[in-house]
Amino acid sequence: MIKNALISLFSFGLVVCANARTPMPPAASVAETAPAPIIDLSPAPFERAEFVRDTAARFNLDPAMIEATLNRAQFRDSIVSAMSRPAEQVKPWYEYRPIFITQARIDGGRLFLSRHRAKLERVQRETGVPAEVIVSIIGVETSYGANTGRYPVLDALYTLAFRYPRSGDPAKLEREIRRERFFRDELAQLFALANEEKLDIHQLTGSYAGAMGMGQFMPSSYRQFAVDGDGDGRRDLFGNLDDVFASIANYFLKKGGWAPGQPVVARADLMPGYQEFNPDDWQPTYTMMDLAVRGYYLIETAPASITATPISLEGRNGKQYWFGFQNYYAITRYNNSKMYAMAVHQLSQAIAGQAIPPA
Ligand SMILES: [Ca+2]
């Protein structure tokens, strides 16, 4: 799995959301954070021969097979264009949430949950990850499996691995090189994955960034976190619901540290005269006392010994303050965005029949 430090540079971690791009941080906040270490400012050269040699050695694969497979891969302008689209302006929460949480998506989630209740409840019993959270992720990522992506995964990763788009902005070059290397690693992982799971690499489709299946797993996450839910000896995230549900739950457990039975968030407020506290990440490292000293207090109840991260959202009727706990952090490991995580949580509540607060 790629390092956390690397993930934070991307607009996605495990997955690329199929339905809404993760808003980029405003330029001001980017400028205020410490610059990442400089790795190489020259454009990455076309290094296909090296890639074939290294991937074959790394995963004990036949270099001729990799070469032959790459010979059938295509650079696609549509993938470059999709990746080059300027990041949408950061939407306030009250505009962001309606993109994710619609009545149709809530209804779709309830239907999906009722259809697959037995499988989902088994995974919930075994992992402690609630069925409605698994369903919510599948709803947000792929509209309950209806839109898992039509791009050939090989072409997507090949294009981004060797022709990751360059904006021409010198300030963005280092990040573009890092992303190209990320995709080159994912392409290598795709070869390993196809070998391990006996997948036909030419048949795989996914998002323009190479995320696959109902939960939109990148190849490295598929290899690391997918599990065989039905015990047939294969991990099939494309068509096997037992495998899909168990794998999403396993990702939450192993990558996100899901804490069974713990809350995700609780509503809070900030006393007048105190400054908002916005940490750089969503690690729930602050005790209730730490946050009280900064002027925050809980409106809802939470376990006394729990630790949290403060969250601020632009609500239609003004600022909303929340405490995000370990399980909120776990959702951000799926997509490193505070609004994504809150939307997934609230959609899961709505699917479970609970009332959700106004955006
Ligand atoms: Ca299986």
* Cα 115 to ligand 1 centroid, rounded to whole Å: 19
Question: What does the mean pLDDT of the chain come to?
Answer: 88
Query: Which of 206, 225, 247 is the endpoint of a domain?
Result: 206
Verify that 200 and 58 share a domain, yes or no.
yes
Residue 42 has pLDDT above 70, yes or no: no
Q: Are 32 and 165 members of one domain?
A: yes
Statement to judge: residues 193 and 73 lie in one domain: yes
Pairing state between β 265-270 and 286-287:
unpaired
Spacing, Cα 83 to ligand 1 middle (Å): 32
Q: Which residues keep their CB under 5 angstroms from ion ligand 1?
A: 228, 230, 232, 234, 243
Asked if 161 and 291 sit in the same domain, the reply is: no
- Between CA 264 and CA 137 the distance in angstroms is 14
Same-domain check for residues 274 and 202: no
Residue 96: DSSP 8-state? H
Full domain range(s) for residue 318: 265-335
| H-only helix segments in the chain | 4-7, 27-32, 48-59, 63-71, 77-84, 93-100, 103-115, 117-127, 131-142, 153-162, 170-197, 219-225, 241-254, 288-293, 326-332, 338-351
d(CA 268, ligand 1 centre) in Å? 42
| 302 CA from centroid of ligand 1 (Å) | 38
Q: How far does the centroid of ligand 1 lie from the alpha carbon of residue 59, in Å?
A: 23
Instruction: Calculate how far, in angstroms, residue 39's C-alpha sits from the geometric centre of ligand 1.
Output: 40
pLDDT confidence of residue 53: 95
pLDDT of residue 87: 67
Distance (Å) from CA 234 to ligand 1 centroid:
4
Query: pLDDT tens across 228-273, in order?
Result: 999 999 999 999 999 999 999 999 999 999 999 999 999 999 999 9
Q: How far is the CA of 241 from the centre of ligand 1 (A)?
A: 9
Q: What is the CATH number of the domain that holds 270?
A: 1.10.530.10
- Kindly state whether residues 171 and 275 are assigned to the same domain: no
Whole-number Å distance, alpha carbon 231 to ligand 1 midpoint, is: 5
Angle CA 292–293–299, to nearest 5:
15
The per-residue pLDDT for 24 is 36
Whether residue 303 sits in one domain with residue 193: no
Lowest mean pLDDT among 37-41, 46-50, 256-260, 334-338: 37-41
Residue 119 lies in a domain: no
Indicate if the pLDDT at residue 115 is higher than 50: yes
CA of 327 to the centre of ligand 1 (A): 26
Residue 60: is its pLDDT beyond 70?
yes
Same domain membership, residue 198 and residue 64: yes
Residues 76 and 156 in one domain: yes
| Cα–Cα nearest to 311, from 264, 257, 247, 258 | 264
d(CA 219, ligand 1 centre) in Å: 17
Read off the pLDDT of residues 286-337 as tens digits, 9 standing for 90 and up: 999 999 999 999 999 999 899 999 999 999 999 999 999 999 999 999 999 9
Collapsing DSSP to helix, strand or coil, 277 comes out as coil
Contacts of residue 326, Cβ cutoff 8 Å, sequence gap at least 6: 257, 258, 259, 262, 284, 307
Between 2 and 207, name the one with better pLDDT.
207
Asked whether residue 345 is domain-assigned, the answer is: no
Q: Kindly state the tokens that stand for 346.
A: 């609230």
Give me ligand 1 centre to Cα 141, in Å: 21
Domain count, the chain: 2
Specify if 171 maps to a domain.
yes
**Range name among 82-86, 138-142, 209-213, 253-257 with the lowest pLDDT average:** 82-86
The domain boundary residue, chosen from 206, 224, 244: 206
| Residue 247 CA to ligand 1 centre (angstroms) | 10
Task: Look at 28-42, 52-66, 322-336 and tell me which has the smallest mean pLDDT.
Answer: 28-42
Same domain? For 201 and 275 the reply is: no
Q: Which residue would you say has higher pLDDT here, 342 or 85?
A: 342
**Gap from CA of 135 to ligand 1 centroid (Å):** 19
Ligand 1 centroid distance, CA of 239 (Å): 10
Residue of 13 and 316 predicted with greater confidence: 316
- Within this chain, do residues 75 and 157 fall inside the same structural domain, yes or no? yes
Residue type, 295: G
Looking up residue 73, the CATH number of its domain turns out to be 1.10.8.350
232, HSE (Cβ side, Cα atoms, 13 Å): 9
218 in any annotated domain = no
- Are residues 43 and 154 both part of a single domain? yes
